Structure 1
Amino acid sequence: MDPRLYSWFSSMFTAFCFMLKLACKCEICHAYLTSSWTKEFDNLCDWFTHLLEKSATGTIHIHVLGNTITANPENVEHILKTRFENYPKGKPFAAILGDLLGKGIFNVDGDSWKFQRKMASLELGSISIRRHGFDIVSSEIQSRLLPLLSSVSGKQQVLDLQDVFRRFSFDNICKFSFGLDPGCLELSLPVSEFAEAFDLASRLSAQRGRASSPLIWKLKRLLNLGTEKQLKQAIKLVDELAQKMINQRREKGFSDRNDLLSRFMGTINDDKYLRDIVVSFLLAGRDTVASGLTSFFWLLSQHPEVESAIREELERVVRSSDGRQQIASYDQMRDMHYLHAALCESLRLFPPIQFDSKFALEDDILPDCTFVRKGTRVTYHPYAMGRMERVWGPDCLEYKPGRWLKDGRYVPENPFKYPVFQAGQRVCLGKEMALVEMKCVVLAIISRFNIRVPNPKQTPRFAPGLTANVRGGLPVLVQEKAIVS
């Protein structure tokens, strides 16, 4: 591209952003555009939480983004259930993630969404598929995760646990979705071109959503400049691998395989559609699990009493007749109520998806009397909701698994108060499998190792992205426990 033309467009971008700053006198919008909120808050989600807590209704409006943000459970129920048809993902959202997710389930509405939802529900709801997923996770734990932790145990060697969990979950979801083993968690911790391309594509796609105007990224995409050029190259790598896997399945047959790609190929012949569906599952199954596990072990490092309680429950439920502790089975984990409560409480404070947006089809009024104009963005904020005193009480900032227990048994909360897995018609189909995967990892690690965070009091700082990844990872020291027989 001619350097002079590039310079002209750069000047236009700068002028456009400056005009936006001048156009809105709102204090909140000014703070957003100038990033002045960073003087008091480490994370954007914490600033939004502060604003929502101060709001009498638990709802705010970011005018420059055309975005109404709420942490009011009644509003959430209205958006996700009562007026579900009025709050689809919408074309603006589909455009932001369209290059990466295409027409996958998380990026479509209407008949396409209903078709994929029904198909995915049949697959993920079956006992055989859940057992298959459990077997994949168990194998990855025994053959890679535990040996890796043993290799650094007692050596005062700092390990980035977030990176480990991202590798672990990527191996699992690739096996489950594609029948592909990228081997990211092998002892050498190899670099995976596919994983890196997927990470970059996710991060840059999320960056589009934070732009003060979609015209900025759309123009950069048109001219193939900067981050849009990087995004295009990353998605090309993802597409090439997806197509390679689809071709292999067609050549070798897929009727006797259990991965999602093979099962969907029995119904769908369109390769691009197959790619979109499976890539969507990759995104959902990789980053969310890794994010949830990272925050859980960070909280565990500050609450040794929770770790002890989980170990006691594990010993009580799983102890065999000869007195030796065994690996928890799929069915035994159902009886571990405290473990389930501890994970739900961690996800309350640190949901992997910190916020989710819809777009209003028609003018509407939310239960708290907030007016929503047709075509504007409406966002509910699980991260902020978990920290709202009016929602969870005066101890809302405390990590207390006991709030989920009654007489020692887990009691679920209203999903619109706790929309970590969404709620209503779009409730997460993979919720059960994700929780089982997390439980498997937690039990395998704490039954054999002591994990210590060198600086547990340091507040996590999140890197921009579609999921809540901690900037700089989670450095830990690993010490193998003594085996008691």
Structure 2
Amino acid sequence: MRANHYGSAAVVSSAGHVLCYVYLLHCNILKARGFGLDTIPFNEVQTSISMDLVKSGPNVSANITDMKTRVSELAGHGPPTYPIIGCLISFYKNRTRLIDWYTELIAESDTNTIVINRLGTRRTVVTANSENVEYMLKTNFNNFPKGKPFTEILGDFLGYGIFNVDGELWRIQRKLASQAFSTNSLREFVMSTLEEEVENRFLPSLESLAAASAVVDLQDLLRRLSFNMICKVSLGVDHCVLDPSQLVSPPNKAFDMASEICAKRGAAPLLLVWKVKKWLGVGSEKKLRDAVEEVHAYIEEIIRNRKKKMDESQENCGEDLLSRLILAGCDEEVIRDMIINFIMAGRDTTSAAMTWLFWLLSCHPVIEQELLKEIQKNDKILSDYESLEGLKLLKASLCESMSLYPPVAWDSKHAMVDDMLPDGTLVQAGDRVTYFPYGMGRMEALWGKDCIEFRPSRWFIEPSHQGGSLKKVSPYKFPVFQAGPRICLGRDMAFIQMKYVVASILRQFEIKPIGSEKPIFVPLLTAHMAGGLKVLIKKRDHSI
């Protein structure tokens, strides 16, 4: 039956006006849960209202107060929300600082969870509650896939790769990737590639920059290094230019363009805008199409050449992921999409984490000196896994940096069926449910009152003894590498690369940022520092 605000709800003895008011509250509850006015089940609402009034007897006002509380609980904590447009006004006002706005709202919420309703999108639940994160990523994993809305945003770029699919297609790729990442030969290949790239290219480049006293963008340097590393490990090719005076390679630039535009699709106040632009083939969507075509052409040519070489030589052409996927008999399109996904995962995440760490160390010279001592204790040779494992303070510093400035600021799933999170937040089928690592790193409930301070000692069992053992922190409290069945397979390799690079730089060079302004955190598909990190590189007087 069609709901009618002015009809049947007006006749329950002398409390008719009260019944109308309560009915409107129930309508608001249902609207908050995704129902349109035409679909509100009036008979059920009327029965519920009548029972509420009967239970309250003469104390109607007390009942109404209680019902207001229930409306608030169902709607969830969030920004000011209005009919039809939702929180579009607040969203637009805060569009340049969304993550800090969300963090402020979440910090004000008793459950560290908020609900966002805005025009043109499904209801969005954003949480920094570790119990909710565990529930989404593990306990009820099957109810929270990526979902069509997410895969639609990234589909043009990531295709049917492992980070953009669900169900059986994800399980098949996950199994293939897991087998590849678990081999000792791949770990050895990563270590040898890392040593060659850093010692023979990256450090000599820093030597030249230090000798010239040139101001350089450290973020750009680290991104070039990371892109070259991931291309060698994934594709077995070398197309990156480490010299900052030379232009970024075309494939690298195309990756930048595609990832940036895809990220802006998801953050747009009105999602319909990018869909119209795509249909018309104009503006940013035309740039995205061109960038994706360039990336596809680049990867596909490498795949064809590698397959031809392998067919002709009848030999395994290398230990890289591409050779492994070809030997596994994967279709070319599947290989292309998987490789693009792996490059995206490994290209910017490590460089972003290292960039923020160097800035934080410049603000905390005492911690930097402690790191230098640790590196000295663990010998100058860092190219073996065991030596890198001994750099505990460095790992703690990286974790602390990523807690405050996570490479992936937030990640979204979409509920398959109605659900309730552990903190009592109601989830409707189709709702977007986002866990928020950036906000989690700023929650007192998780990290204490000093949560926004850079304090690596919090990662040790005994905070005052940084030579001790590291804590085993729940991945649901620190989900920068995801957690549960979709936990990042390259997590250990990422730490190996970051430790090796940071230790190699620190023991030979001083990194001095130019200017005193706090950098701006930009959360795209992977986060970065707005404008980069301009630094002077100085050779240390006594290399350790």
Q: Distance in 1 between matches of 2:383 and 2:304?
A: 38
Deviation at 1:351, TM superposition (A): 0.6
Give the CA deviation at 1:44: 2.0
Q: Which amino acid aligns with 1:58?
A: N
Q: Report the more deviating stretch, 378-387 or 405-414.
A: 405-414
Counterparts of 1:167 and 1:51 in 2: how far apart (Å)? Answer: 36
Corresponding residue for 1:44?
98
Letter in 2 for 1:189: Q
Distance 2:543 2:239 in 1: 35
Q: Deviations over 1:336-387 (max 9, x none)?
A: 2111111111111111000000000000011111111101100000000000
Q: Partner of 1:429: helix, strand, or coil?
A: coil
Amino acid at match of 1:403: R
Q: Work out whether 1:362 is the aligned partner of 2:417.
A: yes
For residue 131 of structure 1, what is the aligned residue in structure 2?
A: 188
- The match for 2:503 among 428, 443, 449 is 443
- The superposition leaves residues 215-240 of structure 1 with CA deviations (integer Å, 9 ceiling, x where unpaired) of 32222112111111110000000010
Change (3 A) 1:94 1:268: farther
> How many Å apart are 1:183 and its aligned residue?
2.5
SS across alignment from 2:412: strand
Distance 1:72 1:113 in 2: 26
Q: Deviations over 1:137-173 (max 9, x none)?
A: 1111112211111112154421100000110000000
What is the alpha-carbon distance in structure 1 between the residues aligned to residue 296 and residue 512 of structure 2?
Answer: 39
Find 1:198's aligned residue among 255, 263, 272.
255
Give 2:436's aligned residue.
381
Gapped runs of 5+ residues in structure 2?
1-80, 463-467
Counterpart of 2:61 in structure 1 is: none
1:484 and 1:461 map into 2 onto residues whose CA distance is: 32
Offset of residue 43 of structure 1: 3.1
Q: 2:540 aligns with which of 471, 481, 485?
A: 481
* 407-416 or 420-429, larger mean C-alpha shift: 407-416
Distance between the aligned counterparts of 1:265 and 1:84, measured in 2?
Answer: 31
Residue 308 (1) aligns with residue 362 (2): no
Q: Tell me the TM-score normalized by structure 1.
A: 0.90
Q: Which residue of 2 is the match for residue 10 of structure 1?
A: none
Partner residue, 2:38: none
Cα distance in 2, alignment partners of residues 345 and 88 from structure 1: 28
- CA deviation string 1:36-92 (max 9, x = no partner): 236xxx632111111110111111111014211000111111111111000000111
Q: 1:72 to 1:173 in 2, by over 3 A?
A: same
Q: 1:371 to 1:108 in 2, by over 3 A?
A: same
Amino acid paired to 1:418? F
Distance change in 2, residues 1:187/1:468 (3 Å): closer
Cα separation, 1, equivalents of 2:317 and 2:531: 42
Q: CA–CA distance in 2 between the matches of 1:256 and 1:271? A: 17
Alignment map for 1:204-223 (pairs within 5 Å): 204-223=261-280
1:263 aligned residue (324, 327, 331): 324
Measured in 1, the distance between the counterparts of 2:457 and 2:266 equals: 37
Does structure 2 conserve the Cα–Cα contact (< 8 Å) formed by 1:144 and 1:186? no
Aligned mates of 2:375, 2:99 — CA distance in 1: 35
CA distance in 2 between partners of 1:305 and 1:91 (Å): 48
- Residue 389 (structure 1) shift: 0.6
The aligned amino acid for 1:56 is: D
What secondary structure sits across from 1:111 in the alignment?
helix
Q: TM-score, normalised by structure 2?
A: 0.80
Range with greater deviation from structure 2 (142-151 or 228-237): 142-151
Who is 1:3 aligned against?
A: none
Q: What corresponds to 1:422 in structure 2?
A: 482
The correspondence for 2:111, drawn from 57, 69, 84, is 57
For 2:201, the aligned partner's letter is R
Seen in structure 2, the aligned counterparts of structure 1 residues 464 and 74 have a Cα distance that, compared at 3 Å, is: closer
Q: In the alignment, which of 506, 520, 530 is matched to residue 471 of structure 1?
A: 530
- Counterpart contact for 2:507–2:543, Cα < 8 Å: no
Q: 2:511 aligns to what SS in structure 1?
A: strand
Contact kept? 2:309, 2:317, Cα under 8 Å: no
Cα offset, 1:329, TM superposition: 2.6
SS in 1 for 2:538: strand
**Larger radius of gyration between Structure 1 and Structure 2:** 2
Q: Which residue of 1 aligns with 2:386?
A: 331
Q: How many residues align?
A: 452
One-letter amino acid matched to 1:59: T
Matches within 5 A, 1:37-436: 37=94, 43-64=97-118, 65=121, 66-153=123-210, 155-186=212-243, 188-253=245-310, 255-318=316-379, 325-407=380-462, 408-436=468-496
The answer on whether the counterparts of 2:514 and 2:536 sit within 8 Å (CA) in structure 1 is yes
Question: How far has the Cα of 1:188 moved from its partner?
Answer: 4.4
Matched residues, percent identical?
A: 43
CA RMSD of aligned residues (A): 1.7
CA distance in 1, matches of 2:128, 2:359: 25
For residue 387 of structure 1, give the secondary structure of its aligned residue in structure 2: coil
Does the aligned pair in 2 maintain the 1:268–1:274 contact within 8 Å? Answer: no
Aligned residues of 1:81 and 1:424 also touching (Cα < 8 A): yes
Q: Secondary structure at the match of 1:153?
A: helix
Instruction: Report if the CA contact (8 A) 2:381-2:387 is conserved.
Output: no
2:521 pairs with one of 435, 459, 462 = 462
Contact conserved, 1:174 with 1:282, CA < 8 A, in 2?
yes
